[in-house]
């Protein structure tokens, strides 16, 4: 704990949720989404000096990403996340006063163990604290009248070496955090799902949304000027090569350089099968530019096998990162030992985990081993507003230069939320949003997101959610 880190108690945790419909169907791996539900949390803290304040967080309830076991229904998978949040809320409310980081670190092992006893995977367990920790820091920032960036640079949360991260013993978190400098803008990486239309001929007229926004990959590249793309593959080698070749036929028309990442979403059973995919990409004439433009491959191997064998043969050809396998606080060091190069940052896995993993990259890269370890910024269909902005503030703070964004493409702006909420976010964050075709939407100009307004009091957002049309989150039995 630093002298600047406040001790606080959590007085109330109030989880809500809302339904939403997708603007377009999205498929990743073996999951097809046409809509879903989003959690919205408000949390009340009290500082040692008696001041009280609310903080907020929000996240999609993407249950079938956290636990993909086929025997789970969508409802059961979503209920797992609700259970994780309810259990974390009970734990935090019963806690003695702690620093913001102390709530995460001191309760981490207890929460994971309690969730495990109920059959919840560690990745599911992370969902509850991920929402609460962001809401706690949002409340503290608002009480102190400072931004997330300033709070982190001053180590207001009190990050320090801890028993849950023995590999970081002796690490100077205060010095590290003070060295991080957020940028004014960041490139948006567009996600190409498994069923996304690539060109106009891929759509029947009756399948068009016709809302004035781009629908095909060709239209997206033209409308937003994006040059970073995330390409989903599905585990069938022949079909994946055919799909990637069609994507490349669109991207290769660009005169400017483009950059791609390939997301396997655990669809390949083994490292050998994943390497066969990469070799096939390299050997396919139509994929030569795409292969050269690929920055890394994301979690192609099923999590049951991903951390059980060396991936050095793959990473000699192309950098490889974990995503779904990043279930525990020590997953990245375990992955590193097997030859992985990096790990994803997702706010739904916990923002302290992202910062710890970024610190690990700093530490390992300073060891001059000849390898460079890195993080990527990935999406779980974050929605405009609190969810989007907290995630952007996080990945911008840790110095990432491009971020997968798909919520603005697959979800219709602020969708079913009150117009007053959307208008409030537009007024407070006019660099990040604009009014387009009748709705407040994410602004992407020449492929870039402008982030200056995230340097505001709170965790990346000035307005707060409108709770009048939300429903209390049900607590699963």
Residue 3, in any domain of the structure = no
| C-alpha of 168 from chain center | 23
In whole angstroms, give the CA distance from residue 282 to residue 405: 27
Nearest to 11, CA basis, from 50, 58, 57, 39: 50
DSSP letter string over 180-229?
A: ----SEEEEEEEE-TT---SGGGS-GGG---SSS--SHHHHHHHH---EE
Give pLDDT, residue 29: 63
**H or E segment to which residue 28 belongs:** strand 8-28
Q: Average pLDDT in the 82-92 region?
A: 98
pLDDT of residue 124: 97
CATH number of the domain residue 300 falls in: 3.20.20.120
pTM more than 0.85: yes
Question: Does the pLDDT at position 38 exceed 90?
Answer: yes
Q: In which band, very low, low, confident or very high, does the pLDDT at 419 lie, cut at 50, 70 and 90?
A: very high
User: Is 1 inside a domain boundary?
Assistant: no
Same domain, 108 and 232: no
Segment (H or E) for 136 = helix 127-144
Is residue 455 scored above 80 in pLDDT?
Answer: yes
The region that residue 123 occupies, defined by phi over 0 for left and psi between -120 and 50 for alpha, beta otherwise, is alpha
pLDDT in tens, 425-436: 999 999 999 999
472 falls within a domain: no
Residues in the chain: 477
The whole-number pLDDT of residue 415 equals: 87
Picking from 85, 60, 55, 59, the residue whose alpha carbon sits closest to that of residue 148 is 55
Q: How confident is the model at residue 112 (pLDDT cuts 50, 70, 90)?
A: very high
Residue 104 has pLDDT above 70, yes or no: yes
Q: Between vectors from CA 180 to CA 176 and to CA 182, what angle results, nearest 5°?
A: 165
Q: What is the CA radius of gyration of the chain?
A: 21
Inside any domain, residue 311: yes
In this prediction, residue 370 carries a pLDDT of 84
Report pLDDT for 422. 97
Q: What angle do CA 465, 468, 469 make, to 5 degrees?
A: 90
Same domain, yes or no: 174 and 221: no
173 and 274 belong to one structural domain: no
235 and 370 together in one domain: yes
Q: Do 215 and 279 belong to one domain?
A: yes
DSSP code of residue 303 = H
SS3 415: coil
Is there a single domain that holds both residue 319 and residue 344?
yes
Does some domain include residue 115? yes
Would you say 55 and 135 are in contact if contact means Cβ atoms under 8 Å apart? yes
Q: Which domain holds residue 272?
A: 185-463
Boundary of a domain, candidates 178, 213, 247: 178
pLDDT for 12 beyond 50: yes
Q: Rounded mean pLDDT of 338-363? A: 98
What CATH number did the domain enclosing 81 receive?
A: 3.30.390.10
Identify the domain boundary among 152, 178, 204. 178
Number of structural domains in the chain: 2
Q: How far, in Å, CA of 470 to CA of 39, rounded? A: 9
- The answer on 60 and 205 residing in a single domain is no
Half-sphere exposure (Cβ direction) of 370: Cα atoms closer than 13 Å:
2
* Of the candidates 73, 177, 188, 87, the residue with the CA atom closest to the CA atom of residue 130: 87
The mean pLDDT value for 114-127 works out to 97
Residue with tokens 């207001």: 156
Neighbour-count burial for 52-81, b at 16+ CB within 10 Å, e otherwise: ebbbbbbbbbbbbbbbbeeebeeeebbbbb
pLDDT-derived band at 64, boundaries 50, 70, 90: confident
- Can you list the positions of beta strands (E) in 331-443? 342-345, 374-377, 402-405, 433-436, 439-442
The band of 30, judged by pLDDT with boundaries at 50, 70 and 90, is low
Is residue 102 included in any domain, yes or no?
Answer: yes
Domain end among 117, 149, 178: 178
Distance CA 42, CA 131 (A): 9
**Cα separation, 289 vs 436, whole angstroms:** 34
Residue 410 CA to residue 115 CA, distance in Å, equals: 31
The predicted model gives 449-477 an average pLDDT of: 95
pLDDT at residue 1 tops 50: no
Cα within 13 Å of Cα(443), Cβ side: 16
**Section 83-91 average pLDDT:** 98
Residue-wise pLDDT tens digits, 391-416: 999 999 999 999 999 999 999 889 88
List the structure tokens of 435: 């009014």
pLDDT at site 237: 97
- Binned at pLDDT 50, 70 and 90, residue 4 comes out as confident
Tokens 């490889």 sit at which residue?
Answer: 320
The answer to whether position 275 is within a domain reads yes
Segment 177-201 shows an average pLDDT of 96
Mean pLDDT confidence for 383-393: 97
The rounded distance, in Å, linking the Cα atoms of 346 and 378 is 6
Task: Give the pLDDT confidence of 255-298 residue by residue, as tens digits.
Answer: 999 999 999 999 999 999 999 999 999 999 999 999 999 999 99
252 and 319 fall within a common domain: yes
What DSSP string runs through 241-292? Answer: HHHHHHHHHHHTT-SS--EEEEE-TT-BSSHHHHHHHHHHHHH-GGGHHHHH
pLDDT at 454 over 60: yes
* 173 assigned to some structural domain: yes
231 and 159 in a common domain: no
Average pLDDT in the chain: 95
Q: Is 232 helix (H, G, I), strand (E, B) or coil?
A: strand
CB 6 within 8 A of CB 140: yes
Query: Would you state the pLDDT for residue 3?
Result: 52
d(CA 47, CA 58): 23
The larger pLDDT score, comparing residue 3 to residue 363, is at 363
Whether residues 324 and 357 share a domain: the answer is yes
Same domain, 107 and 168: yes
Taking a C-beta distance cutoff of 8 angstroms, is the pair 440, 422 a contact? Answer: yes
pLDDT value of residue 2: 44
Q: Are residues 138 and 253 in the same domain?
A: no
């Amino acid at each position: 704990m630093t002298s600047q880190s406040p001790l606080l108690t959590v007085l109330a945790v109030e989880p809500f949720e809302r339904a939403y419909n997708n603007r377009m169907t999205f498929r990743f791996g073996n999951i097809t989404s046409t809509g879903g539900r989003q959690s919205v949390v408000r949390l009340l803290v009290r500082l040692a000096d008696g001041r009280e304040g609310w903080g907020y967080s929000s996240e999609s309830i993407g249950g079938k990403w956290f636990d993909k076991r086929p025997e789970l229904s969508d409802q059961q998978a979503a209920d797992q996340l609700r259970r994780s949040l309810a259990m974390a809320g009970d734990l935090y409310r019963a806690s003695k006063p702690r620093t913001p980081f102390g709530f995460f670190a001191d309760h981490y092992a207890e929460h994971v163990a309690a969730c495990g006893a109920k059959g919840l995977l560690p990745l599911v367990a992370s969902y509850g604290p991920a929402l609460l920790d962001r809401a706690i820091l949002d409340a503290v920032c608002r009480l102190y009248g400072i931004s997330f960036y300033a709070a982190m640079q001053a180590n207001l949360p009190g990050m320090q070496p801890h028993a849950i991260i023995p590999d970081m013993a002796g690490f100077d978190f205060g010095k590290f955090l003070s060295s991080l400098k957020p940028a004014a803008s960041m490139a948006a990486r567009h996600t190409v799902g498994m069923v996304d239309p690539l060109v106009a001929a891929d759509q029947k007229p009756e399948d068009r949304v016709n809302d004035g926004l781009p629908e095909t990959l060709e239209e997206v590249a033209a409308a937003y000027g994006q040059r970073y793309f995330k390409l989903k593959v599905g585990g069938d080698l022949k079909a994946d090569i055919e799909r990637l070749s069609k994507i490349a036929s669109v991207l290769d028309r660009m005169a400017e350089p483009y950059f791609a990442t390939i997301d396997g979403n655990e669809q390949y059973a083994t490292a050998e099968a994943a390497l066969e995919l990469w070799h096939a990409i390299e050997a396919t004439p139509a994929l030569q530019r795409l292969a050269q433009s690929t920055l890394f491959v994301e979690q192609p191997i099923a999590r049951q096998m991903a951390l059980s064998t060396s991936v050095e043969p793959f990473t000699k050809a192309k950098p490889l990162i974990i995503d779904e396998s990043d279930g525990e606080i020590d997953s990245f060091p375990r992955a590193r030992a097997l030859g992985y190069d990096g790990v994803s940052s997702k706010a739904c896995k916990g923002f302290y985990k992202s910062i710890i993993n970024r610190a690990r990259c700093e530490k390992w890269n300073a060891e001059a081993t000849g390898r460079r370890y890195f993080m990527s910024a990935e999406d779980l269909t974050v929605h405009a507003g609190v969810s989007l902005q907290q995630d952007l503030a996080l990945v911008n703070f840790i110095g990432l230069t491009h971020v997968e964004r798909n919520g603005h493409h697959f979800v219709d702006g602020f969708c079913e939320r009150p117009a007053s909420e959307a208008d409030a976010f537009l007024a407070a964050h006019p660099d990040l949003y604009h009014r387009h075709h009748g709705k407040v939407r994410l602004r992407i100009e020449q492929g870039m997101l402008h982030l200056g307004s995230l340097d505001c009091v709170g965790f990346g957002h000035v307005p707060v959610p409108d709770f009048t049309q939300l429903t209390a989150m049900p607590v699963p039995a």
